Amino acid sequence: MRLLSLPRLAFKPVRRALSASSRHYGKAVFLVIHLLVVTAFFVPVSWPAIALCVGCYYMRIFAITVGYHRYFAHRAFKTSRPFQFVLAIFGCSAVQKGPLWWAANHRKHHKHSDQEEDPHSPVKHGLWWSHVGWVISTRNDEIGEDGIPDFSKYWELRMLDDFHWVPALLLAGVCWLFGYLTGGILTDVSPIEHGWTCLVWGFIVSTVCLYHGTFLVNSVCHVLGRKRFVTGDESRNNWWVALLTMGEGWHNNHHNYMSSASIGYRWWEIDGGYYLIRALAIPRLVWGLRKVPTTKMTVS
């Protein structure tokens, strides 16, 4: 136990400094990435770069949907400590802060769904706030370990929460390197130019798309769609958001029973996140997938 507590002591001064600075720099990064989207008009376009953009988008939607959401926020399945860390690293590459902060905020959302305390309710705070405003605000910055004691006990997750920007920088570097190595081979664009093209499309453009794909669940899925169950809030099922987010658009289903590994209740409710969880269960990377109880399947 003493060994596991050492990282908490060692990083304490750094963590305080990072917590204070992230209030401002985190918001600046969010705004700057949006502004940098215009660079897509000043770099050559190639099919490898477009493929990289789509691949990075869905890779990180998987990390948010399966890792941050279904695992860290709701414990919808079990996994090992090493693979838990892998999920957290990929989640951090989405530039949506660390797993502890993300999951703690999401748990608060379910606890106070569409009430004043909900961090991003379009019903109480408006569509703009629920989609973007709450991200720019510093109101929810302090939520962390206290809101997620079951995972904050792991020192490596606490460390990753503080250095959540590292995986994102590494992904940006990988995108540039991919472009450099494939320039002049998979495309006529020179290696250097193709490096910048893949950085812009693979990281910057895909990150902005990822932001708004994720945020659609917070905003649109409490305004547009079908309510199958009475859940005490305005959560709704939205098919096109589900396609963009690997199943997260079946939001009313999710609010009906939040701990299920599957959010799509019907065969035609496409749930890409669940399909991948099932695939990960084959080599036993994950196990103990939680299901919706029969008593919760009754339509209200």
Phi and psi, residue 79, nearest 5° = -155, 175
29 pLDDT band (50/70/90 cuts)? confident
| Model pLDDT, residue 138 | 81
Phi and psi, residue 90, nearest 5° = -65, -35
Token digits for 33? 């990435």
Those residues whose C-beta lies under 8 Å from the C-beta of residue 108, and which sit 6 or more positions away, are 117, 118, 119, 140, 143, 147
| Model pLDDT, residue 12 | 53
9 pLDDT band (50/70/90 cuts)? very low
24 pLDDT band (50/70/90 cuts)? low
**Segment 140-158 mean pLDDT:** 84
| Model pLDDT, residue 10 | 46
| Model pLDDT, residue 93 | 97
Amino acid at 63: A
**Segment 61-76 mean pLDDT:** 98
Percent over 90 (pLDDT), the chain: 81
Total residue count of the chain as it appears in this document? 300
Percent over 70 (pLDDT), the chain: 90
Q: Give the number of C-alpha atoms closer than 13 A to the C-alpha of residue 269, restricted to the C-beta side.
A: 18
Cα 83–chain centre separation: 17
Q: Are 43 and 200 in contact (CB under 8 A)?
A: yes
pLDDT at 5 over 80: no
| Model pLDDT, residue 25 | 63
